[in-house]
Amino acid sequence: MTRSSLPRSGTFSEPAKKHLGQHFLHDRGIISDIVHAVDPQPGDRLVEIGPGQGAITFPLLDRHGELTVIEFDRDLIFPLTEAARAHGTLEVIHRDVLTVDFSALAHNGGPIRLVGNLPYNLSSPILFHALDHAPAIRDMHFMLQKEVVDRMAAGPGSKVYGRLSVMLQAYCHVTPLFTVPPAAFRPPPKVDSAVVRMVPRDPASIGVVDPAVFAHVVRDAFGQRRKTLRNALSQLCDSPQIEAAGIRPDARAEQIEVADFVTLANQLAARSA
């Protein structure tokens, strides 16, 4: 990893970069609510995604003394590192977060706790990247578009219940914490935001036997949203197999509980093993 090979350029006065999803938090009340929600404890291994100009970074450092951050914008690396000296020990990883192996970070001191006001254009890829490393992660506190948090936490029957809800809830407890208005950021985003807590489930209790089969079932089920499961899953299984999982073949994906998707996927995985 490229750790702190710093270009000596850039200041915090540079304009926000839209293509990097830069909306910098400036509302002290919200920042304090985030630090309070994370509630760092001695020995915790905190990792922040996208520290930007340090809005959350410095209060976390003041509270915890040490922190690892992952930032892609080279212009922010030097000013961030300089400003951090007054607050504590900052390890800077200058990389695209999607290329960072969270499991390798965890090897240096137990499961990591992820924090981040995420670039909204990358929120789904970052969430799925984190899921891939779930055993290395103790918990996550993320600021996301409120609409995404609503989808993550939705249950069957909700209009926004979908692939994201099922995939995340199968592996994590998802708890929306609070909503954040556009005025809390500079520049303000066009939409409301929300902070969400995600805690990976105990691997022994997850129940998903084959993650690839599970992902395939969920993708196909919601890929054809208006179709019955019998039709949407026709490439994967037939009606008797759907019924064997306790699911009506004429139901639609948005009516099915997460646990039932897991049962169906496990039966298909057992059949192909």
- Chain contacts with ligand SAM (rule: CB under 6 A): 20-25, 49-53, 55-56, 70-73, 96-98, 117, 119, 122
The reply, when asked if residue 254 is annotated as ligand binding, is no
Nearer to ligand SAM, 16 or 160 (CB): 16
Please tell me whether 25 is known to bind a ligand.
yes
Report the residue number, 73 or 220, with the smaller CB distance to ligand SAM: 73
Output the smallest distance, CB 61 to ligand SAM, in A. 13
Q: What is the DSSP letter of 240?
A: H
108 is in an annotated binding site: no
Listed residue (185, 174, 201) closest to 52, CA to CA: 185
Q: Is 50 annotated as a binding residue?
A: yes
**Cα 255 from chain centroid?**
24
Quote the least distance from Cβ 48 to ligand SAM, whole Å. Answer: 7
Q: Is residue 96 annotated as involved in ligand binding?
A: yes
Query: CA 231, CA 224: separation in Å to the nearest integer?
Result: 8
Residue 11 C-beta: closest distance to ligand SAM, Å:
14
Q: Min. distance of Cβ 209 from ligand SAM in angstroms?
A: 32
Going by DSSP bridges, is the β-strand pair 193-200/172-180 parallel, antiparallel, or unpaired?
antiparallel
Provide, rounded to whole angstroms, the least separation between the CB of residue 124 and ligand SAM. 13
Residue nearest to ligand SAM (CB): 50
* Closest CB 21 distance from ligand SAM, rounded Å: 5
Amino acid of residue 260 = D
Q: Between residues 49 and 262, which has the closer beta carbon with respect to ligand SAM?
A: 49
Q: Which is nearer to ligand SAM, 24 or 249 (CB)?
A: 24
Q: Which amino acid is at 149?
A: V
Q: Residue 210, annotated ligand binder?
A: no
| Residue whose entry in the numeric block shows the structure tokens 């924090």 | 115
Closest CA to 21 of 99, 109, 78, 97: 97
Percent of the chain that is helix, strand, coil (3-state, to 5): 45, 20, 35
193, 143 Cβ separation under 8 angstroms: yes
Q: Which CB atom, from 53 or from 266, has the smaller least distance to ligand SAM?
A: 53
Q: Distances from the Cα of 8 to the Cαs of 26, 75, 112, in angstroms?
A: 25, 8, 30
* CB-nearer residue toward ligand SAM: 97 or 236: 97
Q: How far apart are CA 80 and CA 198, in angstroms?
A: 27
Q: Any idea what DSSP says for residue 172?
A: E
List binding-site positions for S-adenosyl-L-methionine.
Answer: 23, 25, 50, 71, 96, 117
Binding-site residue numbers are: 23, 25, 50, 71, 96, 117
